[in-house]
Structure 1
Protein backbone atom coordinates (compact mmCIF):
# COMPACT_ATOMS: atom_id res chain seq x y z
CA UNK A 1 0.00 0.00 0.00
CA UNK A 2 1.46 3.34 -0.98
CA UNK A 3 0.71 6.59 0.82
CA UNK A 4 1.18 10.16 -0.33
CA UNK A 5 4.75 11.29 -0.65
CA UNK A 6 6.42 13.23 2.10
CA UNK A 7 6.56 16.98 1.66
CA UNK A 8 9.47 17.92 -0.55
CA UNK A 9 12.14 20.13 0.97
CA UNK A 10 13.26 22.51 -1.74
CA UNK A 11 15.56 25.44 -1.11
CA UNK A 12 16.53 27.38 -4.21
CA UNK A 13 19.53 29.61 -4.67
CA UNK A 14 20.24 31.86 -7.63
CA UNK A 15 23.87 32.29 -8.58
CA UNK A 16 24.80 35.01 -11.05
CA UNK A 17 27.28 34.38 -13.85
CA UNK A 18 28.46 31.16 -15.38
CA UNK A 19 29.26 28.12 -13.28
CA UNK A 20 32.36 26.04 -13.86
CA UNK A 21 31.91 22.41 -12.85
CA UNK A 22 34.79 20.47 -11.34
CA UNK A 23 35.29 17.42 -9.16
CA UNK A 24 35.81 18.22 -5.50
CA UNK A 25 38.93 16.12 -5.55
CA UNK A 26 40.42 18.19 -8.34
CA UNK A 27 41.79 21.69 -8.43
CA UNK A 28 38.99 24.05 -9.38
CA UNK A 29 39.59 27.42 -10.91
CA UNK A 30 39.58 30.37 -8.54
CA UNK A 31 36.05 31.46 -7.72
CA UNK A 32 34.46 28.46 -9.47
CA UNK A 33 31.89 26.11 -7.94
CA UNK A 34 32.91 22.50 -7.27
CA UNK A 35 30.36 19.78 -7.99
CA UNK A 36 30.31 16.12 -6.99
CA UNK A 37 27.86 13.26 -7.39
CA UNK A 38 27.64 10.99 -4.38
CA UNK A 39 26.95 7.24 -4.36
CA UNK A 40 23.60 5.67 -3.55
CA UNK A 41 23.16 3.96 -0.20
CA UNK A 42 20.79 1.70 1.68
CA UNK A 43 20.23 0.59 5.28
CA UNK A 44 17.78 -2.03 6.53
CA UNK A 45 16.14 -3.06 9.77
CA UNK A 46 13.42 -5.53 10.69
CA UNK A 47 10.84 -4.94 7.94
CA UNK A 48 12.03 -1.42 7.08
CA UNK A 49 14.54 -0.12 4.55
CA UNK A 50 15.91 3.34 3.69
CA UNK A 51 17.38 4.13 0.27
CA UNK A 52 19.24 7.33 -0.68
CA UNK A 53 19.74 8.12 -4.36
CA UNK A 54 20.60 11.01 -6.67
CA UNK A 55 22.64 12.74 -3.99
CA UNK A 56 24.94 15.57 -5.06
CA UNK A 57 26.69 18.59 -3.60
CA UNK A 58 27.82 21.87 -5.14
CA UNK A 59 30.25 23.96 -3.13
CA UNK A 60 30.89 27.69 -3.61
CA UNK A 61 33.68 29.71 -2.02
CA UNK A 62 32.82 32.73 0.08
CA UNK A 63 31.87 35.77 -1.98
CA UNK A 64 33.78 37.79 0.61
CA UNK A 65 36.90 35.70 -0.12
CA UNK A 66 37.65 35.58 3.60
CA UNK A 67 38.65 31.91 3.74
CA UNK A 68 36.34 31.14 6.68
CA UNK A 69 32.98 30.89 4.91
CA UNK A 70 31.62 28.69 2.13
CA UNK A 71 28.25 27.55 0.85
CA UNK A 72 27.11 24.12 -0.25
CA UNK A 73 23.89 23.25 -2.09
CA UNK A 74 22.86 19.64 -1.49
CA UNK A 75 20.28 17.53 -3.31
CA UNK A 76 19.04 13.99 -2.81
CA UNK A 77 16.13 11.55 -2.82
CA UNK A 78 15.12 9.42 0.17
CA UNK A 79 12.78 6.43 -0.11
CA UNK A 80 11.45 4.63 2.93
CA UNK A 81 9.99 1.13 2.54
CA UNK A 82 7.93 0.25 5.63
CA UNK A 83 5.20 -2.22 4.61
CA UNK A 84 4.75 -3.88 7.99
CA UNK A 85 4.46 -0.98 10.42
CA UNK A 86 1.67 -1.16 12.97
CA UNK A 87 -0.42 2.02 12.48
CA UNK A 88 -0.09 4.57 15.23
CA UNK A 89 -1.09 8.23 15.34
CA UNK A 90 1.41 10.91 16.26
CA UNK A 91 1.04 13.23 19.20
CA UNK A 92 2.14 16.89 19.22
CA UNK A 93 5.37 17.25 17.26
CA UNK A 94 8.43 18.83 18.83
CA UNK A 95 10.44 18.59 15.60
CA UNK A 96 14.08 17.59 15.44
CA UNK A 97 15.52 17.99 18.94
CA UNK A 98 19.18 18.01 18.00
CA UNK A 99 22.16 16.03 19.26
CA UNK A 100 23.01 18.53 21.98
CA UNK A 101 19.67 17.84 23.68
CA UNK A 102 19.40 14.16 22.77
CA UNK A 103 22.92 12.72 22.36
CA UNK A 104 22.97 9.75 20.00
CA UNK A 105 19.56 10.59 18.58
CA UNK A 106 20.64 12.03 15.20
CA UNK A 107 18.15 14.76 15.97
CA UNK A 108 15.16 12.41 15.99
CA UNK A 109 12.61 12.24 18.80
CA UNK A 110 9.57 9.95 18.53
CA UNK A 111 6.16 11.19 19.67
CA UNK A 112 3.94 8.14 19.36
CA UNK A 113 3.79 7.80 15.58
CA UNK A 114 4.48 4.38 14.10
CA UNK A 115 7.85 5.75 13.00
CA UNK A 116 9.71 9.05 12.74
CA UNK A 117 11.89 9.84 9.72
CA UNK A 118 14.53 12.57 9.74
CA UNK A 119 17.24 13.60 7.31
CA UNK A 120 20.05 16.12 7.20
CA UNK A 121 23.83 16.52 7.19
CA UNK A 122 26.72 16.14 9.62
CA UNK A 123 29.13 19.06 9.12
CA UNK A 124 32.59 19.34 10.65
CA UNK A 125 35.47 21.83 10.66
CA UNK A 126 38.99 20.39 10.76
CA UNK A 127 37.43 17.01 11.58
CA UNK A 128 37.28 13.86 9.47
CA UNK A 129 33.57 12.99 9.66
CA UNK A 130 34.07 9.63 7.91
CA UNK A 131 33.94 7.72 11.17
CA UNK A 132 31.54 10.04 12.99
CA UNK A 133 27.96 8.87 13.39
CA UNK A 134 25.72 9.19 16.45
CA UNK A 135 26.49 10.73 19.82
CA UNK A 136 27.89 14.07 18.62
CA UNK A 137 27.44 17.36 20.43
CA UNK A 138 26.94 20.98 19.50
CA UNK A 139 24.01 20.56 17.14
CA UNK A 140 22.14 23.18 15.17
CA UNK A 141 18.41 22.99 15.91
CA UNK A 142 15.97 24.49 13.39
CA UNK A 143 12.77 26.05 14.70
CA UNK A 144 10.47 24.02 12.42
CA UNK A 145 10.23 20.39 11.24
CA UNK A 146 11.20 21.45 7.73
CA UNK A 147 13.45 24.31 6.81
CA UNK A 148 12.86 26.92 4.11
CA UNK A 149 15.76 29.29 3.60
CA UNK A 150 19.49 29.23 4.17
CA UNK A 151 20.86 27.27 7.13
CA UNK A 152 23.83 29.13 8.59
CA UNK A 153 26.20 26.85 10.52
CA UNK A 154 28.88 28.49 12.70
CA UNK A 155 31.77 26.05 13.17
CA UNK A 156 34.97 26.34 15.17
CA UNK A 157 38.00 24.16 14.49
CA UNK A 158 37.37 20.61 15.69
CA UNK A 159 33.62 21.14 15.97
CA UNK A 160 30.90 18.94 14.43
CA UNK A 161 27.19 19.72 14.11
CA UNK A 162 24.10 17.86 12.96
CA UNK A 163 22.09 20.01 10.54
CA UNK A 164 18.54 18.58 10.20
CA UNK A 165 16.76 19.38 6.94
CA UNK A 166 13.42 17.87 7.91
CA UNK A 167 11.49 15.35 9.96
CA UNK A 168 8.27 13.45 9.25
CA UNK A 169 5.89 11.33 11.30
CA UNK A 170 4.98 8.02 9.65
CA UNK A 171 1.61 6.81 10.92
CA UNK A 172 0.80 3.95 8.53
CA UNK A 173 2.63 1.21 6.64
CA UNK A 174 3.64 2.04 3.09
CA UNK A 175 6.33 3.50 0.85
CA UNK A 176 7.33 7.12 1.38
CA UNK A 177 9.47 9.54 -0.60
CA UNK A 178 11.31 12.66 0.46
CA UNK A 179 13.36 14.87 -1.86
CA UNK A 180 15.44 18.00 -1.35
CA UNK A 181 16.86 20.05 -4.19
CA UNK A 182 19.59 22.67 -3.73
CA UNK A 183 19.11 22.89 0.03
CA UNK A 184 21.54 25.64 1.02
CA UNK A 185 23.93 25.27 3.96
CA UNK A 186 26.31 28.13 4.79
CA UNK A 187 29.37 27.24 6.86
CA UNK A 188 30.72 30.21 8.84
CA UNK A 189 33.85 30.83 10.93
CA UNK A 190 35.70 27.69 9.77
CA UNK A 191 39.24 28.73 8.87
CA UNK A 192 40.34 25.17 8.10
CA UNK A 193 39.23 22.11 6.14
CA UNK A 194 35.47 21.43 6.26
CA UNK A 195 33.66 18.19 5.49
CA UNK A 196 30.06 16.94 5.47
CA UNK A 197 28.09 13.71 5.10
CA UNK A 198 24.38 12.97 4.82
CA UNK A 199 22.38 11.11 7.42
CA UNK A 200 18.86 9.69 7.43
CA UNK A 201 17.30 8.08 10.51
CA UNK A 202 14.09 6.08 10.92
CA UNK A 203 12.95 5.20 14.45
CA UNK A 204 9.93 3.00 15.15
CA UNK A 205 7.70 2.74 18.22
CA UNK A 206 5.53 -0.06 19.56
CA UNK A 207 6.46 -3.50 20.87
CA UNK A 208 9.50 -3.76 18.59
CA UNK A 209 11.49 -0.55 18.87
CA UNK A 210 14.29 -0.04 16.38
CA UNK A 211 16.38 2.77 14.95
CA UNK A 212 18.03 2.51 11.53
CA UNK A 213 20.65 5.04 10.41
CA UNK A 214 21.82 5.57 6.84
CA UNK A 215 24.99 7.63 6.36
CA UNK A 216 26.23 9.05 3.09
CA UNK A 217 29.76 9.32 1.73
CA UNK A 218 31.74 12.22 3.26
CA UNK A 219 32.60 15.07 0.89
CA UNK A 220 34.75 18.17 1.09
CA UNK A 221 33.17 21.58 1.43
CA UNK A 222 36.48 23.39 1.08
Structure 2
Protein backbone atom coordinates (compact mmCIF):
# COMPACT_ATOMS: atom_id res chain seq x y z
CA UNK A 1 0.00 0.00 0.00
CA UNK A 2 1.27 3.45 -0.87
CA UNK A 3 -0.11 6.58 0.74
CA UNK A 4 0.97 9.90 -0.63
CA UNK A 5 0.01 13.51 -0.07
CA UNK A 6 1.48 16.40 -2.01
CA UNK A 7 1.44 20.03 -0.89
CA UNK A 8 2.66 22.91 -3.07
CA UNK A 9 3.81 26.14 -1.40
CA UNK A 10 4.57 29.40 -3.17
CA UNK A 11 6.84 31.97 -1.54
CA UNK A 12 8.40 34.85 -3.43
CA UNK A 13 10.17 33.63 -6.54
CA UNK A 14 10.34 29.99 -5.42
CA UNK A 15 8.02 27.03 -5.30
CA UNK A 16 8.56 24.03 -3.05
CA UNK A 17 6.57 20.83 -3.59
CA UNK A 18 6.89 18.33 -0.74
CA UNK A 19 5.34 14.92 -0.13
CA UNK A 20 4.57 12.83 2.93
CA UNK A 21 4.97 9.21 1.90
CA UNK A 22 4.09 6.01 3.75
CA UNK A 23 5.33 2.67 2.45
CA UNK A 24 4.55 -0.90 3.46
CA UNK A 25 7.08 -3.31 1.97
CA UNK A 26 7.09 -7.10 2.11
CA UNK A 27 10.48 -8.57 1.35
CA UNK A 28 13.43 -7.73 -0.86
CA UNK A 29 11.39 -8.20 -4.05
CA UNK A 30 9.61 -4.91 -3.32
CA UNK A 31 12.74 -2.97 -2.38
CA UNK A 32 13.12 0.48 -3.89
CA UNK A 33 16.19 1.54 -5.86
CA UNK A 34 17.57 5.02 -5.21
CA UNK A 35 19.15 6.63 -8.29
CA UNK A 36 21.24 9.81 -7.75
CA UNK A 37 21.26 11.99 -10.86
CA UNK A 38 23.87 14.59 -11.84
CA UNK A 39 21.51 17.44 -12.70
CA UNK A 40 23.06 19.97 -15.04
CA UNK A 41 23.47 23.59 -16.09
CA UNK A 42 22.97 25.58 -19.29
CA UNK A 43 23.76 29.22 -20.06
CA UNK A 44 22.30 31.13 -22.99
CA UNK A 45 22.93 34.72 -24.11
CA UNK A 46 19.81 36.29 -25.61
CA UNK A 47 19.90 38.62 -28.60
CA UNK A 48 19.83 41.73 -26.39
CA UNK A 49 22.80 40.52 -24.30
CA UNK A 50 20.80 39.16 -21.36
CA UNK A 51 22.47 36.02 -19.94
CA UNK A 52 20.18 33.26 -18.65
CA UNK A 53 21.55 30.38 -16.55
CA UNK A 54 19.34 27.38 -15.75
CA UNK A 55 20.45 24.72 -13.24
CA UNK A 56 19.08 21.44 -11.97
CA UNK A 57 20.50 20.48 -8.56
CA UNK A 58 19.78 17.74 -6.03
CA UNK A 59 18.12 15.56 -8.65
CA UNK A 60 17.27 11.94 -7.82
CA UNK A 61 14.77 9.17 -8.46
CA UNK A 62 13.54 6.38 -6.19
CA UNK A 63 12.40 3.47 -8.38
CA UNK A 64 9.75 1.04 -7.19
CA UNK A 65 9.60 -2.30 -9.07
CA UNK A 66 5.81 -2.22 -9.51
CA UNK A 67 2.79 -0.75 -7.77
CA UNK A 68 0.46 -3.01 -9.74
CA UNK A 69 2.50 -6.20 -9.18
CA UNK A 70 2.76 -6.74 -12.96
CA UNK A 71 5.49 -5.99 -15.53
CA UNK A 72 3.18 -3.37 -17.09
CA UNK A 73 3.38 -1.09 -14.06
CA UNK A 74 6.34 1.14 -13.03
CA UNK A 75 6.52 3.68 -10.24
CA UNK A 76 9.11 6.23 -9.20
CA UNK A 77 9.36 9.18 -6.84
CA UNK A 78 11.42 11.98 -8.34
CA UNK A 79 13.04 14.97 -6.63
CA UNK A 80 15.02 17.99 -7.76
CA UNK A 81 15.42 21.75 -7.72
CA UNK A 82 15.32 24.00 -10.80
CA UNK A 83 17.12 27.31 -10.34
CA UNK A 84 17.30 30.31 -12.70
CA UNK A 85 19.63 33.33 -12.68
CA UNK A 86 19.33 36.22 -15.14
CA UNK A 87 21.90 38.95 -15.67
CA UNK A 88 21.06 42.56 -16.48
CA UNK A 89 17.81 44.42 -16.03
CA UNK A 90 15.55 41.39 -16.21
CA UNK A 91 11.87 41.75 -15.48
CA UNK A 92 11.33 38.14 -14.48
CA UNK A 93 10.28 34.91 -16.10
CA UNK A 94 8.42 31.61 -15.81
CA UNK A 95 9.76 28.15 -14.90
CA UNK A 96 8.17 24.98 -16.35
CA UNK A 97 9.67 21.82 -14.73
CA UNK A 98 8.68 18.34 -15.88
CA UNK A 99 9.66 14.90 -17.13
CA UNK A 100 9.51 12.99 -20.39
CA UNK A 101 8.73 9.26 -20.09
CA UNK A 102 9.19 6.77 -22.92
CA UNK A 103 8.28 3.10 -23.38
CA UNK A 104 10.89 1.35 -25.54
CA UNK A 105 11.91 4.77 -26.88
CA UNK A 106 15.41 6.24 -26.72
CA UNK A 107 14.93 9.67 -25.13
CA UNK A 108 18.63 10.39 -24.67
CA UNK A 109 18.95 12.75 -27.63
CA UNK A 110 17.40 15.94 -26.23
CA UNK A 111 13.73 15.24 -26.79
CA UNK A 112 11.15 12.56 -27.42
CA UNK A 113 8.47 11.87 -29.94
CA UNK A 114 5.14 12.99 -28.54
CA UNK A 115 6.80 14.85 -25.69
CA UNK A 116 8.31 18.31 -25.42
CA UNK A 117 10.58 19.71 -28.11
CA UNK A 118 12.94 22.44 -26.93
CA UNK A 119 10.33 24.85 -25.63
CA UNK A 120 7.73 22.83 -23.70
CA UNK A 121 4.87 25.09 -22.60
CA UNK A 122 5.23 28.84 -22.44
CA UNK A 123 2.33 30.18 -20.40
CA UNK A 124 -1.30 29.83 -19.44
CA UNK A 125 -3.23 27.14 -17.67
CA UNK A 126 -2.97 24.48 -20.38
CA UNK A 127 0.17 22.38 -21.01
CA UNK A 128 1.46 22.05 -24.55
CA UNK A 129 0.31 19.28 -26.90
CA UNK A 130 1.59 15.88 -25.79
CA UNK A 131 2.01 16.85 -22.13
CA UNK A 132 -0.18 16.95 -19.05
CA UNK A 133 -0.03 18.03 -15.43
CA UNK A 134 0.61 15.06 -13.15
CA UNK A 135 2.71 11.94 -13.50
CA UNK A 136 0.06 9.27 -14.09
CA UNK A 137 0.87 8.05 -17.60
CA UNK A 138 -0.30 5.20 -19.83
CA UNK A 139 2.12 4.30 -22.63
CA UNK A 140 2.47 1.50 -25.15
CA UNK A 141 5.67 0.39 -26.91
CA UNK A 142 7.20 3.16 -29.01
CA UNK A 143 5.32 5.93 -27.20
CA UNK A 144 6.50 8.82 -25.05
CA UNK A 145 4.80 11.60 -23.17
CA UNK A 146 5.74 14.62 -21.07
CA UNK A 147 4.17 15.82 -17.85
CA UNK A 148 4.67 18.88 -15.69
CA UNK A 149 5.57 18.82 -11.99
CA UNK A 150 3.50 21.85 -11.02
CA UNK A 151 -0.28 22.17 -10.83
CA UNK A 152 -0.88 25.53 -9.17
CA UNK A 153 -4.38 26.84 -8.59
CA UNK A 154 -5.04 30.54 -9.12
CA UNK A 155 -7.84 32.80 -10.25
CA UNK A 156 -7.79 33.91 -13.87
CA UNK A 157 -8.58 37.42 -15.12
CA UNK A 158 -12.29 36.74 -14.65
CA UNK A 159 -12.04 35.31 -11.14
CA UNK A 160 -12.55 31.68 -12.18
CA UNK A 161 -10.31 28.88 -10.92
CA UNK A 162 -7.43 28.03 -13.23
CA UNK A 163 -4.46 25.64 -13.06
CA UNK A 164 -0.92 26.60 -14.03
CA UNK A 165 2.09 24.37 -14.75
CA UNK A 166 4.68 27.12 -14.20
CA UNK A 167 6.11 29.23 -11.41
CA UNK A 168 6.20 32.92 -12.27
CA UNK A 169 8.99 35.00 -10.74
CA UNK A 170 10.09 38.63 -10.91
CA UNK A 171 13.58 40.11 -10.86
CA UNK A 172 16.76 38.19 -11.62
CA UNK A 173 16.19 34.78 -10.03
CA UNK A 174 13.60 32.11 -9.35
CA UNK A 175 13.35 28.46 -8.40
CA UNK A 176 11.10 25.40 -8.13
CA UNK A 177 11.88 22.53 -5.74
CA UNK A 178 10.00 19.22 -5.60
CA UNK A 179 10.39 16.11 -3.43
CA UNK A 180 8.96 12.61 -3.98
CA UNK A 181 6.77 13.64 -6.90
CA UNK A 182 4.99 10.53 -8.20
CA UNK A 183 5.80 9.14 -11.64
CA UNK A 184 3.36 6.29 -12.28
CA UNK A 185 3.56 4.43 -15.61
CA UNK A 186 0.95 1.91 -16.78
CA UNK A 187 0.68 -0.31 -19.85
CA UNK A 188 4.36 -0.44 -20.83
CA UNK A 189 5.37 -4.02 -21.51
CA UNK A 190 8.98 -3.20 -22.41
CA UNK A 191 11.92 -1.07 -21.35
CA UNK A 192 10.91 2.28 -19.85
CA UNK A 193 13.02 5.40 -19.45
CA UNK A 194 12.52 8.94 -18.11
CA UNK A 195 14.38 12.24 -18.04
CA UNK A 196 13.74 15.64 -16.53
CA UNK A 197 13.48 18.97 -18.33
CA UNK A 198 13.29 22.57 -17.16
CA UNK A 199 12.05 25.21 -19.60
CA UNK A 200 12.40 28.86 -18.63
CA UNK A 201 10.68 31.68 -20.50
CA UNK A 202 12.38 35.05 -20.03
CA UNK A 203 10.99 38.41 -21.06
CA UNK A 204 12.94 41.67 -21.22
CA UNK A 205 12.08 45.03 -22.73
CA UNK A 206 13.53 43.86 -26.03
CA UNK A 207 13.18 40.10 -26.32
CA UNK A 208 11.12 37.08 -25.27
CA UNK A 209 12.91 33.74 -25.35
CA UNK A 210 12.84 30.21 -23.89
CA UNK A 211 15.76 28.13 -22.59
CA UNK A 212 15.45 24.38 -21.92
CA UNK A 213 17.77 22.25 -19.77
CA UNK A 214 17.56 18.45 -20.12
CA UNK A 215 18.48 16.05 -17.33
CA UNK A 216 20.20 12.70 -17.65
CA UNK A 217 17.92 9.81 -18.71
CA UNK A 218 17.30 7.07 -16.14
CA UNK A 219 15.75 3.63 -16.37
CA UNK A 220 12.35 2.76 -14.92
CA UNK A 221 12.99 -0.93 -15.55
Considering the TM-score relative to the shorter chain, is it more than 0.5? Answer: yes
How many residue pairs end up in the alignment?
177
Q: Give the unaligned 5+ runs of structure 1.
A: 20-28, 88-113
Cα distance in 2 for partners of 1:17, 1:188 equals 20
Which residues in structure 2 correspond to 1:177-192 (within 5 Å)?
A: 177-192=175-190
TM-score for the superposition, normalised by structure 2: 0.72
* Residue deviations 1:141-160 (CA, integer Å, cap 9, x gap): 22xxxx6xxx3111111111
SS in 2 for 1:30: helix
- 2:132 maps to 1:165: no
**2:138 is aligned with 1:139:** no
Q: TM-score normalized by structure 1?
A: 0.72
Q: Find runs of 4+ consecutive structure 1 residues off by over 4 angstroms.
A: none
Is 1:123 paired with 2:105?
no
Q: CA RMSD in A?
A: 2.2
Higher strand share: 2
CA distance in 2, matches of 1:74, 1:152: 13
1:76 aligns with 2:80: yes
For the residue of structure 2 that corresponds to 1:8, the secondary structure is strand
SS at match of 2:108: helix
Q: Over residues 131-183 of structure 1, what are the superposed CA-to-partner deviations in whole Å (9 max), with x where a residue is unaligned?
A: 142773562322xxxx6xxx31111111111111121123x222222210000
The counterpart of 1:12, out of the listed 5, 20, 40, is: 20
Partner-residue secondary structure (3-state), 1:128: coil
Q: Which runs of 5+ in 2 are unaligned?
A: 1-10, 46-50, 116-128, 151-165
